[in-house]
Structure 1
Amino acid sequence: MSGTGKSAALRLLRARGHRTVDTDSDAWSRWVTLPDGSSDWIWREREITGLLTGHAAGHLFLAGCKSNQGDFYPLLDHVVLLSAPAHVLLARIERRTGNPYGKRPEERAAVLRHLATVEPLLRATASAEIDATAPIEEVVGRLERLAGS
């Protein structure tokens, strides 16, 4: 979910020597048009499969939330949900400077809508959930422990 600290966690994991990939880029994701005419931002199948099957040394940490991510769960050791209450997410989104998403009222409404509709789906398929209100060092430590570091 937006504002949970995924980007901050990736930065710290990378600084600790882990390979990290933020899948919210054109290199890893693409727009598709759904049968109803709406758009969806999904993982690029070939690229994500290559990333997951080609990684051999150390730990790989991925961040992102896509409607087709479940297709890749058999290739993942863990699926982790970082969670925080709505007021925490909105406050973080308001303060962040590296990502403009969530500044406009309609984007903030979408964040709340996703929290109500998407987060329960993620929780149901996650192998672990981490309270993202904890200090980032603690969140990253839990991620490393899950990975077996």
Structure 2
Amino acid sequence: MTVILVTGMSGTGKSSTLNLLAGRGYRVVDTDFGGWIEQVPLPDGAGIEPQWNEERIEALISEHEQSGEPLFIAGAVWNQYKFYPRLDQVVLLSAPLDVLLERIAVRETNPFGKTEEERGRIVADVAEIEPLLRSAATVEIDTRKPLADIVDHLAELAGPPASLGRP
């Protein structure tokens, strides 16, 4: 069983990458969708912070520890570090800030990053959060490469999907 976290800033291609991995027969979970994330008040009361629902993520990983099936999880939330010991790889998808902002401006699959406030948040996150993700990553992939190459690299890390890996 291989569990790989695909993480990175908005616009790095996490969702696009997972879509292609799913098309190759891999089990994928994009935690931006489907109730995997909950909004938790910050300790100082100055706002809220998205985090994984830890019970759901724990159950997901436990299920896959028994299945023998590779699993890709995508997300970038503050509490993901709690699961690093349970992951085989933490893969950081990255690209220069100007590339991220250009992608976000034209993407139609996710509305985040369209307002000036959200774009400012992305700039701040690249400066503050991406270095933390980089320091914990076991692999970093520059997503200026062709998407197929990125997916090939991730597939190599995971091994064959369950449908191809079993007799």
TM more than 0.5: yes
CA RMSD of aligned residues (A): 1.0
State the alpha-carbon separation in 2 of the partners of residues 100 and 80 from structure 1. 24
| Counterpart code for 2:31 | T
State the shift of 1:145 in Å.
1.1
Identify the structure with bigger relative contact order (alpha carbons < 8 Å, sequence gap 6+): 2
Q: Does 1:43 align with 2:52?
A: yes
1:121 paired residue among 124, 127, 132: 132
For the Cα contact (< 8 Å) 1:53–1:75, is it kept in 2? no
| Unmatched 5+ stretches in structure 2 | 1-8, 161-167
Number of the residue aligned with 1:83: 94
Count of paired positions: 149
| Runs of 4+ in structure 1 over 3 Å off | none
| Counterpart code for 2:79 | N
Number of the residue aligned with 1:53: 62
Number of the residue aligned with 2:23: 15
State the alpha-carbon separation in 2 of the partners of residues 93 and 67 from structure 1. 21
Identical-residue share of aligned pairs (%): 50
Q: Does 1:29 align with 2:40?
A: no
| Counterpart code for 1:8 | S
| Counterpart code for 1:121 | L
State the alpha-carbon separation in 2 of the partners of residues 26 and 40 from structure 1. 17
State the alpha-carbon separation in 1 of the partners of residues 120 and 80 from structure 2. 23
1:62 paired residue among 69, 73, 76: 73
| DSSP 3-state at the match of 2:89 | coil
Instruction: State TM-score, norm by structure 2.
Output: 0.86
Number of the residue aligned with 1:136: 147
| Counterpart code for 1:108 | R
1:48-85 CA-to-partner distances (Å, cap 9, x unmatched) read 00001111132110100110001011111100000000
Number of the residue aligned with 2:5: none
| Unmatched 5+ stretches in structure 1 | none
